[in-house]
Amino acid sequence: MHLIQPRNCVHFRVETMRRKFLIWWGLSCLGLLLSFFAATSVHADSHDAKISAHGYSFYGDLKYSEDFEHFDYVNPDAPKGGEIALGTVGTFDSMHPYTRKGRAGALSSSIYESLLGSGVNGTAAPADVYGEYYGLLAERLEYDDDKNWVIFYMRPEARFSDGTPVTAHDIAFSHNLLLDEGLKSYADAVRQRIPKVEVLDDHTIKFYFSEGISRRSLIDQVGFVPAWSEKWYRETGAGLDESRLDISPGSGPYMVDTVDVNRRVVYKRNPDYWANNLPFNVGRNNFDSIRIEYFGDAEAAFQAFLAGEFTFRTENDSKKWATGYDNPKVRDGAIKKAEFPDGSPPTPSGIVFNLMRPQLKDRRVREAIAMAYNFEWTNASLQYGLFKQRASFTQDTPLMATGIPKGGELKLLKSLGDLVPVDILTQDARVPHSSNEARLFDRRNARKAMALLDDAGWLVADDGIRRNSEGEILSLNYLFNSSSPDTLSGAMENFVANVRKLGVEVEFEKVDSSQYTSRERDRDYDLVYDSYSAFLGTGTGLMQRFGSEAAEFSLFNPAGLASPLVDAIIEASLNAKTRADEEASLMALDRALRYEFIMIPVWYNPSYWVAYYDIFEHPKSIPPYELGQLDFWWYNEEKAAGLKASGALR
């Protein structure tokens, strides 16, 4: 289970969870063995075998050897300098991203590092492999063959930006602070799995893991605890669960430079960054500064980009992508418009049902509401036919459930006995309904929806409103972020109009970003436009997102899903001994989640859409799992000077 940060309403793609679970296939057993022995050393003592390595993966395979010079996809000679500026919509009142209180500024977690390294704001590094983690604050780690414990040997040269050393005491302090004052769902899960942490000396720390549980996500969990300065917290008396603008120093390549609440945040590269020359960082962290500009709505942000107020934009609005860039700057080449392949699975976004609401516990009601969504019309009429309809939580990957279960997946499901409904074993994996592209309100689907609602006991009264036998109205509140792109807002308004035609009362409640965040945390909605995480690797984070143990309050389970079947599949996945078993369990999980029907899936884009001023360079080959604009792109000073001289850029 990785540390998962509270959601931030940020409309550029770098705002991710602590780590992205991605997919890495095609390694033979022989290749795994060769990689393992090349990357690690194994020695025995009187008790058990120990593994010592410069990095970690669950199966022991590491692409990069201990003497690697840099990641394959970076430009080791990339120049340092310049600025990249991004735009986002919304507000913020804090620079502290690890609390439920307040709304943190974009990228505010990026100044912190951990024992194992990641990319900017927790993105994948390296970005060309799945499930491999390499030492950053730690130069190596050691663990027993059964993964009952792990020891991290830290780099003595590591420093916070105020010049004080980063020690094992800081790591232990951070770990315990998260348990004492962090998110309850996180703390409860970690306490069950990690009963003890021990500081062996100033630069050596040992974590112990509970017996009788899966070894999944234990070593990487503690390896990604953010390093906070114990000295700063002691001296200031600050607490973790509070909103504030002054924050503890980080040890990362960037420091907070300027904070202008609700207008901008600027991060500057630390010239004294302790790890500048580590192979892990060669060719990375190339900009002198990263600037985030805040705007009140999506259109204001777009116009500001065209005016040159910021320089890099990840587009998520199909209308703008199709028509909005017919602009002199684009035609003249000052702004480059490009598509890059995205090797990661699409985010499972959609209209999420709050399963804690009585009227939504009945699957027939959820099925009927879903029938009101017309993907085909929406895509053709509002989105220029640029999207595909998402069906799966592992869309377009080998883990996507298709047809009826077979092979290892079928074997696993049968082993779960009566927990598995017959329909799951005998019917194809659930896919979204199809609709008439020519008509927003598909009458064929409407008839099916009305029959489902009738069958569920919600009958149409004389006033055209559906009521149950007790006279209660079937009403729903749909919580929506008012700063969302206009195209998304329009699509959801059409959906709501269709639901109302079924005799269901729907309040489409648009609120500002702050209210949205607060309401979402309190689960104050019946429907909400939200997302889950793709799960193309197993780990205890699956329980936090989809499991029952924290369903009533987890921020990362907006549906409140609590399914014994899903719990059992996750448990089986956590205990998988081989990649084949892991893959089978995750395919079963995809199938089960689609069967539980916790959300109406909408659309996805298999590519990155980006527009940027022609002042940036990137490697010829973008790695499959990150676009990396903040990580391994760089600034071309000559091009920037030319655009500024021409007036195209401020």
What CATH number does the domain containing 384 carry? 3.10.105.10
Distance CA 130, CA 345 (A): 12
| pLDDT computed for residue 13 by the predictor | 36
Q: How does strand 204-208 pair with strand 149-154?
A: antiparallel
Q: Give the bridge partners for 85, in sequence order.
A: 291
Number of H helices, E strands in the chain: 19, 26
Torsion angles phi and psi, residue 254, rounded to 5: -120, 150
| pLDDT computed for residue 230 by the predictor | 97
pLDDT in tens, 200-216: 999 999 999 999 888 88
Q: Is the pLDDT of residue 33 over 60?
A: no
Specify the long-range contacts of residues 197-204, CB closer than 8 Å, at least 24 apart.
Answer: 197/172, 197/222, 199/168, 199/169, 199/172, 200/151, 200/168, 201/168, 202/165, 202/167, 202/168, 202/169, 203/153, 203/154, 203/155, 203/156, 203/167, 203/168, 204/151, 204/152, 204/153, 204/154, 204/168
Beta strand residue intervals within 385-468, DSSP E: 388-389, 459-460, 466-467
Mean per-residue pLDDT of the chain: 90
Query: Locate tokens 């799995």: which residue?
Result: 193
DSSP conformational letter for 101:
S
Q: Which two tokens stand for residue 511?
A: 């609120």
Distance CA 73, CA 618 (A): 10
Domain assignment present for residue 46? The answer is no
Domain assignment present for residue 31? The answer is no
Q: Residues with Cβ < 8 Å from 29, sequence gap 6 or more?
A: none
Q: Is the pLDDT of residue 270 over 90?
A: yes
Helix (H) or strand (E) holding 105: none
- What DSSP assignment string belongs to 109-123? TTT---SB--SGGG-
Domain assignment present for residue 272? The answer is no
What amino acid occupies position 84?
I
Q: Is the pLDDT of residue 473 over 50?
A: yes
| pLDDT computed for residue 454 by the predictor | 98
pLDDT in tens, 101-132: 778 899 999 999 999 999 988 888 999 998 89
Find out whether 502 and 495 touch, Cβ atoms under 8 Å: no
What amino acid occupies position 34?
L
Q: Which two tokens stand for residue 569?
A: 């599949």
What value does the mean pLDDT take over residues 133-145? 97
- What DSSP assignment string belongs to 57-69? -TT---SS-TT--
Distance CA 381, CA 351 (A): 20
Q: How many CB atoms lie within 10 A of CB 76?
A: 11
Helix (H) or strand (E) holding 583: helix 579-596
Find out whether 105 and 292 touch, Cβ atoms under 8 Å: yes
Domain assignment present for residue 42? The answer is no
What amino acid occupies position 526?
D
Q: How does strand 49-53 pair with strand 40-44?
A: antiparallel
| pLDDT computed for residue 361 by the predictor | 96
Torsion angles phi and psi, residue 475, rounded to 5: -125, 150
Domain assignment present for residue 81? The answer is no
Q: Is the pLDDT of residue 2 over 90?
A: no
DSSP conformational letter for 323:
I
Share of the chain above pLDDT 70, in %: 92
Q: What is the CA radius of gyration of the chain?
A: 25
Distance CA 235, CA 221 (A): 28
| pLDDT computed for residue 41 by the predictor | 44
User: How long, in residues, is the chain?
Assistant: 650
When mean pLDDT is compared across 67-81, 234-248, 260-274, the lowest value belongs to: 234-248
Find out whether 466 and 474 touch, Cβ atoms under 8 Å: yes
Domain assignment present for residue 539? The answer is yes
Nearest partner of 503 among 459, 472, 471, judged by Cα: 459
| pLDDT computed for residue 486 by the predictor | 86
Domain assignment present for residue 588? The answer is yes
Find out whether 437 and 377 touch, Cβ atoms under 8 Å: yes
Dihedral (Cα; 410, 541, 133, 149), 10-degree rounding:
-100
pTM, two decimals, is 0.79
Q: Structural domain of residue 397, as residue ranges?
A: 349-604
What value does the mean pLDDT take over residues 580-601? 97
Q: Is the pLDDT of residue 565 over 90?
A: yes
What value does the mean pLDDT take over residues 6-10? 32
| pLDDT computed for residue 130 by the predictor | 85
Q: Which two tokens stand for residue 258?
A: 């300027």
Helix (H) or strand (E) holding 160: none
Angle between helices 184-193 and 168-181 (to 10 degrees): 120
| Cα separation values, 591 from 289, 556, 595, Å | 44, 20, 6
What value does the mean pLDDT take over residues 286-291? 98
| pLDDT computed for residue 26 by the predictor | 32
Distance CA 17, CA 84 (A): 22
Nearest partner of 338 among 610, 104, 589, judged by Cα: 610
| pLDDT computed for residue 493 by the predictor | 97
Q: Is the pLDDT of residue 350 over 90?
A: yes
Q: How does strand 138-144 pair with strand 149-154?
A: antiparallel
Domains in the chain, number: 1
What value does the mean pLDDT take over residues 52-65? 94
Domain assignment present for residue 57? The answer is no
